[in-house]
Amino acid sequence: MMTIKFIAATALTLMTALSPERATAQMRTSKQLADQWRDARRTELLEQREQARAELSKREALLSSELKALDWDSTPDSIAATAQSDTVSNETDTTTLVALVSAPNGSSQTATSTGTEVFQPQSGKRVLPVPVATDLTTEGPAALPWGKAIPATGSVQVAAAPVALDPVVASALTAALAPPKQTFGGLDLGAGLSFTLDLGKLNRISRASAVNGIVRSDDQDNGRARIMLESHYFFTPCTWNFLGLKNPCKAKDGWQVADPKEARWGLGPFIAVQPGSDNIIDAIGMGIMVGARREQSAQSFNLGIGIVFDPNTRVLGDGIIENQPLPIGEIEVRYRETLQTGILVLTSFSF
C-alpha cells in the first residue's frame, strides 16, 4: 500500500515539474507557425505587387503609343521610327492603325484597327502606329496628312506591314457617322435645342408656399430651355440667294430646280416634340425653319420659330391667387395642370 502511494506522489511531482517546460514548448511552436505564415503571406503579396506593376507598365506603354499616333504634327519619319529590340527571341507585338474615316456627309471620325505581328530576332525593329486618312466612300487613293497618297483598298501599308481594316468595321463606322437620330414612337427624329416663352394668362409655377396665409411663388418657369426632337422639310429654290448662299440649278421636266445633293440652303416647315415617359408627348410645337448647309456636308445650322403647346402646364389651383390670402379654410397651396401656349425658338444641325 505504501509503495502505490509513493509511486503516485512521485508521478504527480514529475508532472508538476515538467508542465512549465511543456507550456513553453507549445508556445514556441505556435509562435514559429505564426512567423512562417506571415513570411509566406508577405512573399505572396510581394509577387502580386510585382505582377501588378508589370501589367501597369504594359498598359501605360500601349496608351503612350496610341497617344503618340494622334500627334498630327509629327513627321512620317518620327512616327514610323524604329527601335532596337532588347530580346533575342521571337517577339509578338501589336500594331494599332489609327485611321481618320470620312463619311458621305463630310464628317470624320478616328477609327482604329489592331494587328499582331511576330518579329524575328534578326530584324529587332518595331513600327510605331502611323495615323493615316482614308475615305471609305471612294476607291481612289487617299491623301496622308503630309501630302503623300496611299491606295484606299481596305488595307494600309505601314513600313511593309499591312494592317487590314475589317469591312464590317468600316461599314459600321460609316453608318455611325451619319447625323444623330433618335427614335420616338417609331419615328426617326433629329435632336434640337429650343427655348420656349410662355404666353398664357397664368404664370407657370414650379413651387409656391403660404407665408402667414399669403400665397408666394417660389419658382416661376415661364421661360424654359430644353432639348426637343424635330423633323423638317426644306424647299430649296435655285433662283433666290440667302446670305450669299445659292443653290445650283439644273433642268428637270422643263423647270429649273435645285440639285438636292448640292443645295446650300433651304426653307420649310418643322414640327418638334418634347418626349415624356411611355411615349407620351409633354409638349409639341411647329413653325417655319431656315437652314444653311455646310459645303459638301449633311451638317447645317437651322433656325426655326413657331408656336408650342404645353398640355401639362402647372399653375396655381382654382381660387388661389399669387400674393393674395389663401381661401378661407385652406392652409396649403394647391396646383392644377392646364394647356398653355408659347413662342418656340428651335435650332438643329442636320440638313
pLDDT tens, residue by residue, 189-247: 888 999 999 998 888 998 999 998 899 988 888 999 999 999 999 988 887 888 888 88
What's the whole-model pTM score? 0.46
**76 located within any domain:** no
Domain finish residue from 176, 199, 229: 176
Lowest mean pLDDT among 103-117, 236-250, 305-319: 103-117
Q: Say which residue, 200 or 18, is predicted with more confidence.
A: 200
Amino acid at 117: E
Provide the domain count of the chain. Answer: 2
Domain finish residue from 176, 201, 228: 176
Same-domain pairing of 332 and 214: yes
- 174 and 136 in contact (C-beta within 8 Å)? yes
- CA distances 44 to 40, 88, 198, 218, Å, are 6, 31, 69, 62
Same-domain pairing of 253 and 343: yes
**27 located within any domain:** no
Residue with cell 476607291: 139
Same-domain pairing of 188 and 217: yes
φ, ψ dihedrals at 201, nearest 5°: -70, -25
**41 located within any domain:** no
Instruction: Please say if the pLDDT value at position 77 is more than 60.
Output: no
Same-domain pairing of 194 and 339: yes
Domain finish residue from 176, 206, 241: 176
Same-domain pairing of 192 and 328: yes
Same-domain pairing of 341 and 192: yes
Same-domain pairing of 209 and 104: no
Q: Report pLDDT for 148.
A: 41
Neighbouring-strand partners of residue 158? 161
Instruction: Please say if the pLDDT value at position 9 is more than 70.
Output: no
Q: Report pLDDT for 67.
A: 77
Sign, CA dihedral 181-183-188-194, equals: negative
**193 located within any domain:** yes
Non-local (6+) Cβ contacts of 81 within 8 A are 128
Same-domain pairing of 92 and 213: no
Q: Which domain holds residue 130?
A: 83-176
Neighbouring-strand partners of residue 187? 184
State the Cα–Cα distance between residues 297 and 106, nearest whole angstrom: 4
Neighbouring-strand partners of residue 291? 266, 302
Instruction: Please say if the pLDDT value at position 173 is more than 90.
Output: no
**302 located within any domain:** yes
Same-domain pairing of 101 and 137: yes
**28 located within any domain:** no
Q: Grid coordinates representing 67? A: 497617344
Same-domain pairing of 158 and 289: no
Same-domain pairing of 186 and 172: no
State the Cα–Cα distance between residues 271 and 267, nearest whole angstrom: 13
**30 located within any domain:** no
**73 located within any domain:** no
Same-domain pairing of 117 and 214: no
**Residue count of the chain:** 351
